[in-house]
Every structure is written in C-alpha cells, then in structure tokens.
Amino acid sequence: MSYEAGIGVALLLWLYGTVNTLISINSTLERNLNKIGQRLSWVTLSAKPMTHDDQSRSTISLVMRFVIMSLIGLASTLLSWLYVLLVVGSIVYAKSKDVGAPQTIKEYRWKLRNMDLSLDQLIRESMKIAGQSEDQFEQVKAELLQSMRDAGLRA
C-alpha cells in the first residue's frame, strides 16, 4: 500500500465526509434540533446546545466556516493512511454506539431524522425517552422555553 494510494482513499473519504456534513446541516434532523435549542456539531455531527451567536450568524459567515473546515480536512488527507484509519475508526465508533440503544431511542432518532416534528411533538418524544409522565408536559415545555430564552435564543 503506497502513500499515493492512501492519499487517494483519504481524498475519497474527505469528499464523502464533506458531502455528508453539508447534507446533515441542511437536514430534517437539524431543523428539529433547532426547535428545541440544539444544533448539529459540524465536526462530530452530534447534537449540541445552540447559542445566540448560532442563530444570528450570517449566511456568508456560515459558508466561510464550512470552507475553512473543509480545507483543514483536505489538508489532513496528506496524512494518507493515518487519515483513513481515523475516519474509518470514527465511522465504526459512531455505528457501534447505536447498536446497543433501546428500541425507543432508535425510534426517537428515526423520527428526528425523518419527520418534521412540531415543538410539542419533540417535547413529548423526549419525555417518553426520559420516562416522564405526560402530566408534566406543560412544566417541561415551560422549562425548555425558559432555558432557550436564558441562552438568548428565539423560542
């Protein structure tokens, strides 16, 4: 296995990762997470809390951040087979993390990715996962909206 072959494979993985990130940050999952004050991390593609800055960034700023991250990833392909091992390892880790999840969590994740849920539906689904009673819905909703306002987010 040559260095050049490693760079070729790394470039293919970089292209896959860049396209996957671009699709993910414009997905139903991202829109659903935004409704509850979260967003996808561009690095790990996992949910993280939103900040006021996340909501107020201009499109140009977002494009520039994406381009910079893509260029850093592209430069990393020069690591050849090391880059390939890191990417494949992170993909295997992400997939293996999901294997042991309970069915209710898998269903919740599926709904987040594939259905445009309302805020109330998102709260009810997360309450099911947390094992909370439906009687607490209004309280949980009020707490979520308050925490979003406290973080400077438009609720």
pLDDT tens per residue across span 102-121? 888 889 999 999 999 999 99
Report pLDDT for 78.
87
Res 123 pLDDT > 70:
yes
Q: Does the residue 79 lie in any domain?
A: yes
pLDDT band of 98, cuts 50, 70, 90: confident
Angle made by CA atoms 58, 60, 61, in degrees to the nearest 5: 65
> Which residue type does 43 have?
V
Mean pLDDT to the nearest integer, 27-31: 90
Confidence of residue 138 (pLDDT cuts 50, 70, 90): very high
Q: Does residue 146 lie within any of the structural domains?
A: no
Considering the domain boundaries, does residue 28 fall inside one? Answer: yes
Would you say residue 155 has pLDDT above 70? no
Question: Which is more confident, 45 or 77?
Answer: 77
Residue 46, in any domain of the structure: yes
- Selected residue with higher pLDDT from 85 and 60: 85
CA nearest to 9, candidates 85, 91, 102: 85
- How high is the mean pLDDT of the chain? 87
Its domain, for residue 13, covers 3-99
The domain tally of the chain equals: 1
Within-domain flag for 8: yes
143 domain-assigned: no
Q: Does residue 88 sit within a domain?
A: yes
pTM beyond 0.85: no
Rounded to a whole number of angstroms, the CA Rg of the chain reads 19
Query: Has residue 97 got a pLDDT over 70?
Result: yes
Render the burial of 79-106: b for 16+ CB within 10 Å, e for the rest: ebeebbeebeeeeeeeeeeeeeeeeeee
Coil/strand/helix, residue 88: helix
- What mean pLDDT do residues 139-149 have? 90
The reply to whether 74 falls in a domain is yes
Phi, psi of 102 (to 5 degrees): -60, 155
Whether 25 and 40 have beta carbons less than 8 Å apart is answered as yes
